[in-house]
Amino acid sequence: MNYQFSARLGTFSSSAVREILKLTQRKSIISFAGGLPAEEHFPVAAIGEAFQRVLAAGNKALQYGLTEGYLPLRESICGWMARKGVTVTPDDMLLTTGSQQAIDLLTRIYIDPGDVILVERPTYLSALQVFRSYGATLISVDTDNDGMDLDDLAAKLKQYRPKMIYVIPTFSNPTGKAWSLERRKGVLKLCRESDTLILEDDPYGELKFGDASVTYPSIFSLDEHPNGSCVVYTSTFSKTVAPALRTGWVMADPEIIRHMARAKQAADLHSSSLDQQTLYQLMEHFDLDGHIEFVRKEYESRMRQMADLLREQQWPGVVWNEPKGGMFFWLELPESVDTADLLKTAVDLGVAFVPGISFFADEDAKKNTMRLNFTHNDLEGTVNGMKRLNQAMESVLVK
C-alpha cells in the first residue's frame, strides 16, 4: 500500500519531553524531565470513594454525556473560579481533555495557515507543537522577570498584526516566573487596543510559594468578562488532583465557547463523563482546598531542597532564579554548552532533564538552557539525581 499522508503530517514533531520520558522508563534513570506531580500525593482514597459514588448512581453514569461537559462539575468550577475574581456561568465554559485540548480547539477554530501568534521567549513546548501543526507563524516576544516586555510587545503587535498571543503569566513553563500586575494589565490593554486575542494558560496557578498575601490575578479576571472579553482562559485538574483524569476547562466569550464545542464534537464528542462525574463528587465531598494546600507546601519544600542543592554545586557560569511557584527551575549555562549534548552524557550517568531549545519558537534559541522538574522526586531521589547531574556538568564546565 502506498500511503498518501496529508501535507499537515509534516507539521507534527515529537515532543522532546515525551521522547525523553521514553528514555527514563528504566528504573536506573532519575528524571527531572517531565512536568510530573508526585504520585504519592494523589488523593487515591478520595478518588476511589468518589468513583464508587458515581457508579452507585446507576447505569446512566456510564452513558454518553454533553459535549460541553458534565453540568454539575461546570457549576462547581464556576463557583471555584468566582473566588478568583472570575464571574461566569456554565454556558461560558467547556470541559476538555486536559488544558492541552483547549489549546488545540481554540487554535483549530481561530488560526488559519500563516496567521501570526506571539509567544513568550521561552514558552511551553507542547503549545508550540499545536500552533505549528495548524500552520501558524510564531513570533517570540522578549521577557524579563516581570513578564512580557511591553515595548517589544507593542512593536510586534504593530509590525506583525498577530491574530493571537499565548501566555502563561503565573509560574510559567519553563521558567517558573510570575508576571507583575503592571505587566498583566499592560498586555491586556495593548491586546484590547489591537483587537488581538489572548490565550491565557494557567495550569500552575494553585501552586504558589512564599508570601501567602501575594496574589496573581488572571488576565481574564482583569478584563470585562465573559462577554466581549479578549481573553480565553484555560486551566486543569492535572496538577492539583491527578493527570490521568485528563480534565481541564476553558472559559471565554460564549461565541468562542460555542465554536470550540462544535470543534470538540467533531474531535471526540465529549471528554470522559465518568472522570468528570468523579471530579464533581470529589469537589463535593473532599477537602480539595486542604489537599491543594498540602501539595503546595510539599512542592515548596521540594523546590527549596533543589535550590539548596543548586547553590551547593557552585557551577561556574550557571544562572538560575528561584521559582515563585509551579514545577520547574530554568537554568542558563555558559554559551559554549549545548544542553542537548549534555543530556546524552547525563542519561549515561542515570539522570535526565529537558534541553531548553525545545521551548523556543524561533531559530535564535538558547541552546545553553535547561529545565529541571522539582516536584516528582522525593528528597533522596533529588539528592542522588543532582549528584549524577553534577558529574555530567563537570564534563562541560571549566572550574
Please answer whether residues 336 and 368 qualify as being in contact, where contact means their C-beta atoms are separated by less than 8 angstroms: yes
Confidence of residue 213 (pLDDT cuts 50, 70, 90): confident
Q: Per residue in 53-103, pLDDT tens? A: 999 999 999 999 999 999 999 999 999 999 999 999 999 999 999 999 999
Unique residue bearing C-alpha cell 454518553:
64
Question: Could you tell me which residues come within 8 angstroms of residue 313 by beta carbon, excluding any fewer than 6 positions away?
Answer: 386, 390, 393
Q: For the purposes of burial, counting CB atoms within 10 Å of the CB of 136, is it exposed (0-12), middle (13-18) or buried (19 or more)?
A: buried
Q: List residues bridging with 201 in a β-sheet.
A: 234
Alpha-carbon distance of 196 to 202, in angstroms, equals 19
The fold adopted by the segment(s) 10-43+290-394 is Aspartate Aminotransferase, domain 1 (3.90.1150)
Name the pTM for this structure.
0.95
Parts of the chain belonging to CATH 3.90.1150.10:
10-43+290-394
Q: Per residue in 9-28, pLDDT tens? A: 777 766 566 666 666 566 68
Parts of the chain belonging to CATH 3.40.640.10:
44-285
Please answer whether residues 266 and 100 qualify as being in contact, where contact means their C-beta atoms are separated by less than 8 angstroms: no
Please answer whether residues 233 and 200 qualify as being in contact, where contact means their C-beta atoms are separated by less than 8 angstroms: yes
Angle at 12 between CA 11 and CA 17, to 5 degrees: 140
Q: Per residue in 229-240, pLDDT tens? A: 999 999 999 999
Enter the CATH code of domain 44-285.
Answer: 3.40.640.10
